Chains A and B, each alone.
Chain A
Amino acid sequence: MAPDRIVGIDLGTTNSLVAFMQGDTPVVIPGDDGLNLLPSVVALDPNHQPVIGNAARNSLIETPERAVYSIKRLMGRGVEDIRQELKLFPFRLADDMQPGEVLRIKLGDKTFTPPEISALILRQLKRSAERFFGGPVTKAVITVPAYFNDAQRQATKDAGRIAGLEVLRLVNEPTAASLAYGLDKKQNGIVAVYDFGGGTFDISILKLHDQIFEVIATNGDTHLGGDDIDNLLIAIALDDIRGDLGLDLRNNDLRRNAETVQAIRKAVIEAKIALSSDPSVKLDIELSGGQRYQREITREQYEQLIQPVIERTVGACKQAMKDAGLKPEQIDEVVLVGGSTRIPKVRALVKELFHREPHIDLNPDEVVALGAAVQANILGGGSEATENMLLLDVTPLSLGIEVAGGVTDKIILRNSTIPASATQFYTTQIDGQANVAIHVLQGERELAKDCRSLARFDLKGIPGMAAGIPRVEVKFLIDANGILHVSAREQRSGKEAEIQVQPSYGLSDEQVEGMILDSFDNAEEDFRRRQLIEARSETATILAALEKGKKDPAWGQLTTDEKKKIAKMEKSLVALHAEQDYKAIRKAIDVLNQGTMRLAELMMDTAVATALKGKNLDETDLGEAPTAPHPMAKAEFE
């Protein structure tokens, strides 16, 4: 049995990545299109089969009613939470959504919860990793925004489970980034990680001490990112189009308009990226009906426009510094993470805020996934590079319970190192009372109604006693994933009080079970089946190439013995082709590959020789020389 392959996954708003620690270096595993970034877009093809990534991106424009992006913004949230979001994003909710229920998004005529959509992205990454390793992958570390609350974390964990992954740890994105940075810089000091991504913003301040990464304070906004900049630009375009062309894309033919809005979105994102390097860009979008929308945007106009968005990161940074008890001068290094930190104006803002030039040594799109791979390696027992590394993270939000008067009583304060716990004691108000209701909250506000409702617990089965006599000890524990656990015990009777959890916007265990895409039991079987299909298709390729080789003049140059050997190898591969053992097939392919090496070389020589005789090289078919199987995807040529 090979050692546990634990992968690190950055499940991003815009793009997702999977990485792995290869020796002492974390590397990103490319997808089957050969690219490191998997766009976090999910669509259904005409056969109702899910398509993920770049393939789904086209669907955003062609069949927007069957595609969804930025699903991370909806993780762990309820209908009430996303009213604002719905104005700007083309999320289509199921028609029969009830308040308090887990969201369901319509794709075509099917509905999916956000964890299920995220699970499809995770499964795609899982498959990339499996192709890379040539074996099943069932364990992962997944990153989440540091400022994610309990429900958002739980939803991410559920997504992992649905994708057939055991989520060993949820790691905060900025902290993961610091691990990637800290790998080769073994120095001590205070580091601020400014993580401005597609949909979320985090700031974390860490103390590095002999390879212990201790988070001192974190802050952020789970709804602030590049998406917000895109939406500003889209709004301008829509206003222009309505004003100048008299087209109101928000009404009328929804289907056609959704396509146009997506076309606009694509164009403004390209413009946004270009404006990080060019002084101005020209938007040129073909609208339905043949009209064109054109507009020039200068860097100056753009920077003015986005100023309010990027200004929103300032408050969080200042609060984090205040919580850490640090002044900008006391921070030794600032690290930039997330695609939105490519914007020069953002870099200028960070420089001003922390009084120093930020670090951008690592690719801001990849650094979080690389850090997740480092953490995965630590959990797996560590290697020489990571054996002394330890991450001490914090809970971003205070945990409280509702007390008389609708007031939040905070019992674990924000920025407490996790795992963290708190114990509260409860008693009854009426004689013989058997149940006590407890409302758990997360947030910084004084009143319960302004905090996030995490769950309502009913303490049941308290032994019958006079009012005020029972003494129920309730223990709240935030684990290393930032997820809350509650246990309760009545102290006088020693009886465990029963707890019923009703997570406010979460899936129940049973629901998650029912959604699992590749259940753990089937993981091996599924993998084997996929491997078999791939091995068979490779067999077909190599046999076809061999047929071609036999017709080549080079075939004649082989000795009878060589030909015999090849024939034998071919025969055994053909025989195995019908069998179920993909490993044996692969081995036979390898053997045949080796055996035909000389043939391939000879074919190459003849081809070159022919070319030298004055023939055009283009006319010479080099043939498909058999190659060794490799985990990389086919290269693409335009």
Chain B
Amino acid sequence: MTKVALTAISAPPLSQETHSCWSCGSMRAAHFCESCGKVQPPVPVDYFSFFGLAPRLDLDLKALEKSFYELSRKLHPDLNARAGSQEQEWSMEQSSLLNDAYRTLKDPIRRTQYLLHLEGVELEEQSQSATKQARATGETKKQIVPPDLLEEVFELNMQLEELRMNKKTGEDDPALIEEVGKQKLSLESKHEALLRELQTYWKTWDSLIDRGPAPLAERAQVRDKMVDVLNRRNYIHNLVRDVNAAMEN
């Protein structure tokens, strides 16, 4: 069984005005009809369009939550439990689309990954399955260490190895534990710094989107920067996880 990589979803954004309600014929129907309240058949759209948003990254989360609650009050199956079976099915599909979209967009990392995915970049896919496969077979996953971390990572891996050995032999080395603890804190602060760095690229991206159709080269430039930050961040994330595992065991 082979998994085929997803290609970008390229459906046009849903226009809020162009659909007519299947039930009352009103022209203002989107996910639900604003005139009669009936749930409409789902239209394949990307998550940003689902909320009627442009593909911008610096989202107003309060406003997103508000739309999520408002749409839930219209689309959720509990509120359409007495409708016909076709409507109930649409309600379930629309509601799952809403939940999937909200879950993706409310999280800064998932949101960025999703946007990159829409742009045709696949980062998580290979990296995740490679990690899992490596863990399953017991091999070490070959990861490209970000150059600026090379020295630190080398040092840390030595210490982690020592820590694991100590655990096995029952030895206690408070100095080592303290040292690894410090490293962990430093990694965590790098992890946070990377999110801030990512946010600066969001602004660049958003300004490109706001300007209208941006030159492909410019888009590609910001995109590549975001991919780089996500990869580094992911690397550090895994490192912190390893440190936690070594310290807990």
Q: Give me the interface of A with B, judged by CB distance under 8 Å.
A: 168-169, 209-210, 212, 375, 378-381, 390-392, 403-409, 416-422, 424-429, 436-438, 446-447, 468, 471, 477-480
Chain B binding surface, main DSSP class: helix
Q: Identify A429's interface contact among B1, B69, B92, CB under 8 A.
A: B1
Interface centre among A419, A427, A477 (most CB of B within 10 A): A419
Q: Is the CB of B1 within 8 A of A417?
A: no
Q: Is the CB of B129 within 8 A of A391?
A: no
Q: Is the CB of A426 within 8 A of B78?
A: no
Q: Is the CB of B132 within 8 A of A417?
A: no
> Which chain A residues border B102 with CB–CB below 8 Å?
417
Nearest 6 CB-CB pairings of A with B: A419-B96, A379-B81, A417-B99, A421-B96, A425-B4, A405-B136
Q: How far is the CB of B157 from chain A (nearest CB, A)?
A: 21
The reply to whether the CB of B241 lies closer than 8 angstroms to some CB of chain A is no
Q: How far is the CB of A435 from chain B (nearest CB, A)?
A: 11
Bound-state Cα–Cα, A370 to B2, Å: 49
User: If A419-B95, A420-B99, A421-B97 touch, does A471 touch B78 (CB 8 Å cutoff)?
Assistant: no
Q: Is the CB of B129 within 8 A of A403?
A: yes
Q: How far is the CB of A208 from chain B (nearest CB, A)?
A: 12
Q: Is the CB of A419 within 8 A of B77?
A: yes
Number of interface residues of B (CB under 8 A): 31
User: B21-53, CB under 8 A of A: which get 1 and which 0?
Assistant: 000000000000000000000000000000000
Q: How far is the CB of B2 from chain A (nearest CB, A)?
A: 5
Interface centre among A380, A392, A418, A422 (most CB of B within 10 A): A392
Q: Is the CB of A479 within 8 A of B136?
A: no
> Which chain B residues border A422 with CB–CB below 8 Å?
100
> Which chain B residues border A168 with CB–CB below 8 Å?
81
Bound-state Cα–Cα, A446 to B137, Å: 12
> Which chain A residues border B193 with CB–CB below 8 Å?
none
Q: Is the CB of A436 within 8 A of B103?
A: no
Bound-state Cα–Cα, A438 to B5, Å: 17
**Nearest neighbor of A469 in chain B, beta-carbon distance:** B4
Q: How far is the CB of B55 from chain A (nearest CB, A)?
A: 20
Q: Is the CB of A404 within 8 A of B92?
A: no
User: B57-85, CB under 8 A of A: which get 1 and which 0?
Assistant: 00000000000010011001111011000
Q: Is the CB of A392 within 8 A of B72?
A: yes
**Nearest neighbor of B80 in chain A, beta-carbon distance:** A379
The reply to whether the CB of B3 lies closer than 8 angstroms to some CB of chain A is yes
User: If A169-B81, A379-B78, A480-B78 touch, does A404 touch B69 (CB 8 Å cutoff)?
Assistant: no
> Which chain B residues border A429 with CB–CB below 8 Å?
1-2
Bound-state Cα–Cα, A234 to B6, Å: 57
Q: Identify B133's interface contact among A405, A418, A478, CB under 8 A.
A: A405
Q: Identify B78's interface contact among A209, A390, A403, A438, CB under 8 A.
A: A390
Given contact pairs A169-B81, A390-B72, a sample of 19 additional A-B residue pairs in the complex whose CB atoms are under 8 Å apart? A168-B81, A210-B69, A379-B81, A403-B129, A403-B132, A404-B1, A405-B137, A407-B132, A417-B102, A419-B92, A420-B96, A420-B99, A425-B6, A426-B2, A429-B1, A437-B1, A446-B132, A446-B135, A480-B78
Q: Is the CB of A426 within 8 A of B4?
A: yes
Q: How far is the CB of B16 from chain A (nearest CB, A)?
A: 23
**Nearest neighbor of A422 in chain B, beta-carbon distance:** B100
Q: Is the CB of A416 within 8 A of B78?
A: no
> Which chain A residues border B78 with CB–CB below 8 Å?
169, 375, 378-379, 390-391, 480
Q: How far is the CB of B103 from chain A (nearest CB, A)?
A: 6
Bound-state Cα–Cα, A381 to B79, Å: 7
**Nearest neighbor of A418 in chain B, beta-carbon distance:** B99
Sample (21) of A-B pairs whose CB atoms are under 8 Å apart: A168-B81, A212-B69, A378-B78, A390-B76, A392-B72, A405-B132, A406-B136, A407-B132, A408-B132, A418-B96, A419-B96, A421-B100, A422-B100, A425-B4, A427-B2, A428-B2, A429-B2, A480-B76, A480-B77, A480-B78, A480-B92
> Which chain B residues border A210 with CB–CB below 8 Å?
69
> Which chain B residues border A390 with CB–CB below 8 Å?
72-73, 76, 78-79
Bound-state Cα–Cα, A380 to B102, Å: 27
Q: Identify A426's interface contact among B3, B79, B97, CB under 8 A.
A: B3
Q: How far is the CB of B135 from chain A (nearest CB, A)?
A: 6
Interface centre among B77, B81, B93 (most CB of A within 10 A): B81
Bound-state Cα–Cα, A428 to B5, Å: 14
Bound-state Cα–Cα, A419 to B3, Å: 25
Q: Is the CB of A416 within 8 A of B103?
A: yes
